[in-house]
Amino acid sequence: GRRAVELSAKARQPIAALWGHLWRVDAALQLGNMAEVDRELAEIERVARERGSIVARWHHLRYLAAYGALVGDFPAARRADDAAHALADRVGDVALVGMSMAFLTQLAIVTGDPGVVPIEWERVLAQAPPMPLVSVALSIQHVIEGRCDLARSEFEAFRHLPATFPVGIRWAPTLAQIEIGAVLLDDAEVADAVYLRLAHTAVYY
């Protein structure tokens, strides 16, 4: 990430510096280095401001939302997410809108308030790619709404994945989402299977 930022001084596109800072803020979050997170967020905001980058602005807002949720400042998290959602709507990118929906689902779990998830969540989810990381959200959202029997039947398709899902860029978040579903549904067998696969990542924040 540091090298990408160094090289970006000669780049014409703001995206070069942005990716370096995004990689660094991700790493800082995993290490629990919140001072470094603050510094990198300031750099992402600078790229957005000085280069007029909508992409940088959206990423900055998404990180502010995550940061607010992490430290328990839920009103700030909602404000940042609302701004990111509005920007995604303006751009017209369904993937960016979907990130807001995913965030609000997680916020509903943390706060115990299913009302934070917009009523159109199923329509947005239907437009998303049919990958397990996304699809398992259907079961999670239904159990949040109290429709446990439906959620349990939908979750059945994901119960085998902890043992078979290939390691790659979506491995950890997919298993983490399956773990959330398992806990919400009191599925101790799947929760244990995911725990055993993810235990070695416990050194990270």
pLDDT at 158: 97
- Round to the nearest angstrom and report the end-to-end CA distance of the chain: 19
pLDDT at 101: 87
pLDDT at 14: 65
pLDDT at 43: 94
Of 172, 169, 175, residue with least CA distance to 190: 175
pLDDT at 122: 78
pLDDT beneath 70, residues of the chain: 11, 14
pLDDT at 20: 93
Residues of the chain above pLDDT 70, percent: 99
* Mean of per-residue pLDDT scores for the chain: 91
pLDDT at 147: 92
- What pTM was estimated for this model as a whole? 0.86
Contact between residue 23 and residue 8 where contact means Cβ atoms under 8 Å apart: no
User: What is the full DSSP assignment across 134-173?
Assistant: HHHHHHHHHHHTT-HHHHHHHHGGGTTHHHHPPPSTTHHH
